[in-house]
Structure 1
Amino acid sequence: MPSTAEGQINMILAPKMRAVIADDEPLSREKLRVLLERESDVQIVAECTGVEDTLNAVRSHHPDVLLLDIELEGGNGFDIVRSIPGEMPIVIFTTAYDSYALQAFEAQALDYLLKPFDQERLHRALERAKGEMMKSAKGALNDNLANLLSAARKPHAENRLIIKSGGRVVFIQMDEIDWIEAAANYVRLHVAGKNAYLFRESIGRMADKLDSSQFIRIHRSFIVNVSKIKELQPCNNGEFMVSLRNGKELPCSRFYRHALESLWKGTQ
């Protein structure tokens, strides 16, 4: 039997999976809701019928998994994937048509459920999603350790960043950066008192380049400058809302919250 400490660790590493349902057919949506409610470690945070409300749900709830029908009001599921690549959760397509399968996997969907599907088939897809979530969490921990080791080996951290943006070479002081967001194969630097700079780089490689004592990754789409954080607001789902001094609020997902927790634990 696991110890109390081990049980607490497991609870942190395996929280409830937050899910959004997107399906324009009421009966299909109801059936999927019933199946998901039978999964003890899944929490439905929103139900949507069209492209616009699904985009809003993903941006506001930051779900772990999106159960996405192909045909929706106002467009299709691929429109959603293309619209917010940097903020997309794990996508499981649900559809009555097998002709979209190749396009779905080209859109990097985790799975493709052909209606009608049963509890066992959905469960297998959710287990795959949980596996992907655990990989992300382990990868984040390893990245932080690598960053700490790299920073320890450097006698002095670089105090500026040189990027190519909009046909220009831009020199940015590190302490001027408020936060960084992912934008597909690009990142956008938000600099105090200036416009944001978009340049080609993955957010993972960007995190590797930054001083881990000054910048922390709080979400798979966001990195923040620690000195720009004003306060942390706990949410009911185990996440945090990070408020910056410029008034910007960014979510910290459960799988990156250890980085924030280290900030105040170091002061105790």
Structure 2
Amino acid sequence: MLEVALVEDEAPARARLKRLLAAHVDVRIVGEAEDVASALALLRATRPALVFLDVQLGRDDAFALLRRLPEPQPLIVFATAYHEHALRAFEVAAIDYLLKPFDGERLARALARVRARLTEADAWPADEDVRRLRAAWSPAAPPPRLVVQDRGRRIVVPLAELLRVATCGNYVELHTAERRYLLRTPLARLAQHLDPAQFLRVHRGHLLRADQIVSVTPRAHGDAELHLRDGSTLLLSRRYRDALPADLRGVIPLASASVPPVT
């Protein structure tokens, strides 16, 4: 049996989650809590394998709870209406991030990830790497790395290897020299955690590492084309023109009349 605890401050949300979990015969709910204090008592007493955790818990939040839990910690699936906390959730090694209102199918996918993790040798997310990530996170300083979930594995992507980021539906696509990764977070939220002098917002759908720009070609209407080290190009929207370093920004005319369209 998969022993599960529900930590959620709204009774209707807990009741709905219980109804959805009832469809899974291998799941047993060991208890419920609505704030940090009761959650600590519950989790210490029952030691469940999995916790469904809301971000907002009265006057506290889920991260205050996680900081106080002893090791080994249970697996965590966030269930919340606050999409902007997704990046921070995965930095503390959450298995999944369910955005309310989610349905039974989405819940089933989350449980499948949990079952896959529990079959691995490192079922508990208490390894040294995760502890370093948790200790290093600060809203005032960019994290040194990002953590993505890929087919039941937790993959660390160092910021030093990140070349650019593009929106991809409800995810962002992280581009490195070797491969691409998907991270479920809005681009604007990720941008808040990156150094704006190092990662430039060049388009509403793109963040770019500044040192990847080889040259800039002006286009019509104040836009520009950025030529990158890997041979690819990106459009620089005139809305984000001021994000470029001053020496590159100077080649882009403010008025479009003097720049013929690119054909």
Q: Which structure's residues are more often helix, by fraction? A: 1
Give the TM-score of the pair, scaled to structure 1.
0.45
Give the TM-score of the pair, scaled to structure 2.
0.46
Structure of larger gyration radius = 2
